[in-house]
Amino acid sequence: MRKVDQLHPRLQSLIFDLKEKCQNQGLKIGIGECLRTVKEQEALYAKGRTVSGSVVTNAKGSAYASMHQWGVAFDFYRNDGRDTYENGDSFFQNVGKIGKSLGLEWGGDFKSIKDLPHFQLPDWGSTPAKLKAKYKTPENFFKTWEEMPMTEQERIKFNSLVKQVETLTLEKEKIYHYTSELPDWAKPTIQKLLDRGIYKGISESDLNLPETVMRVLVINDRAGIYK
Ligand SMILES: [Zn+2]
């Protein structure tokens, strides 16, 4: 089992979105198997064939037949304290729906072996046939990712920076709520616009007037626009 940061960069970013969207809807998910080696895939393929258990995959390891070996698939589990694969409440179908809305291909839609806790990027079809034809091995495919933008960590940092900038901008912009708060140089203009109904606050008592807007209104007034 490998880490999320070894997956295709776009898939990393989609996992970030998926976790957030699921969380917002009260579905707590964890990320399980991501990138898989040939050996790991062989062990899975043996299940229900040469070792006991039921068949879990049709993908042979040596043939790079699993999307997990190409770094474009991941599995999830429920992470809310209940059994990790408990699905009496259609938890996996609900997460599947959210993933699909983000553009992921969901294993629950597979024709042969349904794979409810599985998602993959849809860009190369449902199976690795196209990837194999184009890149031969996963290693060749991984090399093409280098020019890909933003890993999950970079994205988290980026989003937090955007938030900080938004907060700073909001803090900087003063909002005037009452006419009594207005600076003297703006009072006559704003009062006039209120009286004429040209400017309306969000209510009788609340101007909700941003400073930048107030400045523009005063400048316009001085230019004779509201005469
Ligand atoms: Zn899977």
Query: What distance in Å separates the CA atoms of residue 175 and residue 212, rounded to the nearest whole number?
Result: 9
Question: 18 with 98: CB under 8 angstroms?
Answer: yes
Q: Give me ligand 1 centre to Cα 125, in Å.
A: 15
User: What pLDDT score does 2 carry?
Assistant: 55
Q: Give me ligand 1 centre to Cα 33, in Å.
A: 7
Q: How many CA atoms lie within 13 A of 48 on its CB side?
A: 8
Element (H, E) at 176: strand 175-176
User: What pLDDT score does 100 carry?
Assistant: 98
Ramachandran category for residue 64: left, alpha or beta (phi over 0 → left; psi -120 to 50 → alpha): left
3-state class of 175 per DSSP? strand
Domain ranges of the chain: 4-162, 173-222
pLDDT, one tens digit per residue, over 19-39 is 999 999 999 999 998 999 888
Q: Give me ligand 1 centre to Cα 161, in Å.
A: 33
CB atoms within 5 A of ion ligand 1 belong to 75, 118
Q: Give me ligand 1 centre to Cα 25, in Å.
A: 23
> Confidence band (pLDDT; 50, 70, 90) for 15?
very high
Average pLDDT of the segment spanning 157-182: 77
Q: Give me ligand 1 centre to Cα 19, in Å.
A: 17
Q: Give me ligand 1 centre to Cα 140, in Å.
A: 21
- Which is higher by pLDDT, 188 or 224? 188
Q: Give me ligand 1 centre to Cα 153, in Å.
A: 23
> Confidence band (pLDDT; 50, 70, 90) for 148?
low
CB burial of residue 165 (10 Å; 0-12, 13-18, 19+): exposed
Q: Give me ligand 1 centre to Cα 107, in Å.
A: 7
CA dihedral 136, 138, 143, 146 (to 10 degrees): 140
pLDDT, one tens digit per residue, over 35-74 is 998 888 899 999 999 999 998 888 888 889 999 999 999 9
Backbone Cα Rg of the chain: 28
Query: What distance in Å separates the CA atoms of residue 16 and residue 82, rounded to the nearest whole number?
Result: 22
Q: Give me ligand 1 centre to Cα 21, in Å.
A: 20
pLDDT, one tens digit per residue, over 112-137 is 889 999 999 999 999 999 999 999 99
The single-letter code of the amino acid at 29 is I
Average pLDDT of the segment spanning 151-156: 72
The CATH number of domain 4-162 is 3.40.50.300: no
Q: Give me ligand 1 centre to Cα 201, in Å.
A: 54
Q: Give me ligand 1 centre to Cα 134, in Å.
A: 22
pLDDT, one tens digit per residue, over 67-117 is 999 999 999 999 999 999 999 999 999 999 999 999 999 999 998 889 999
